[in-house]
Structure 1
Amino acid sequence: MSVLKACSKLAENNCASFINGKCLGDISCPVFNQVICEGLRCPYFETAVLPADKNLQESYSVEVLKATARHSSKKCKGCGNTFKTDNYRIQYCGDRCRNHGKKKANRIADSKYRQNEKSALIKA
């Protein structure tokens, strides 16, 4: 049996928030529906229900680490919003923020260049 299937059975049998296939009766349970790999996690399940089975808890942690490594959350350097990416080198959430960041970097570089030119003229 896979780790996610075992976790969904544990949630179905032991989770106090699990009612009729949904978490607290309103939203769908990420553990039961096995969408942990998409970045959705249940803190209640991880702290209250999962510690009952140590082996499963260890396997679950490995599974979650694999899933979060593929889709890590980052903070955009431009707007400050959080976005998900699988590329660790990406710094901006989209083209608009990236272009704004390039313009800002170019302005700073041009300013430093002009400052160096002024100081070279004054020394000469």
Structure 2
Amino acid sequence: MALLDKQTLNKVKTLCKTTCCNYIDGGCILTDSPCDYFTKAGGSISCDWFEQCVLPNDSDLKKAYEEQHGISYTETEIGKYSRICKACSNHFKTDSKNTLTCSDECRKALRKKTNNAYYLRQS
């Protein structure tokens, strides 16, 4: 049983041919096999790379694709601990209890601020 109707599958194939960087000469370079969408079971197979990187380029097709596949994506932040960055005050999630900053730039800025405060106290 195909999850995608014929019209949507044809649009997926066209988008795959024109935009997918892994599609070369009818094959997928990630799997070293023919592209899943161009096989007999193409309407019932999904490709993670296509769904995450290629499909967002066409919002109408993405909506139809997700509707027919029954996919609903929710953006979730990964991490156990919710923190507030000491440098920029943005909220972020982390797996480490000791993380103080959200990015390397903020870490460097906080380090610079701490060092400057230390050297000012010394003089």
TM-score of the aligned structures, taking structure 1 as reference length: 0.46
- Which structure is higher in helix share? 1
TM-score of the aligned structures, taking structure 2 as reference length: 0.46
